[in-house]
Amino acid sequence: NLCVYCGSGPGNDPDYREAALALGKAFAGEGLGLVYGGGNVGLMGSVARSVLDHGGHVTGIIPDFLLSRERLLDDVQDTVIVPD
């Protein structure tokens, strides 16, 4: 597994999203699992969605206080909610 934490926003350049999608595809293609921040938006969401779309495994880790502020990506195989 590899851990990726990046923006919960899309960034200012569409190339960022394309890079995030390519990274997710590469992870899945190499059989590497993704560990990330758990959300379904922004660059983090793009990486995670791409891993899933290409048959990979995703673990989302999110602090409890963010549950009310962020939308979780429900399709991940594992979600871990931590106190802080």
| 15-69 pLDDT per residue, tens | 999 999 999 999 999 999 999 999 899 999 999 999 999 999 999 999 999 888 8
Q: For residue 10, what pLDDT band results from cuts at 50, 70 and 90?
A: confident
User: What does the pLDDT read at residue 67?
Assistant: 87
User: What does the pLDDT read at residue 44?
Assistant: 93
Mean per-residue pLDDT, 68-79: 90
Strands in the chain per DSSP E: 2-3, 34-36, 58-63, 78-82
Mean per-residue pLDDT, 72-78: 93
Residues 73 and 23: their CA atoms lie apart, in Å, by 18
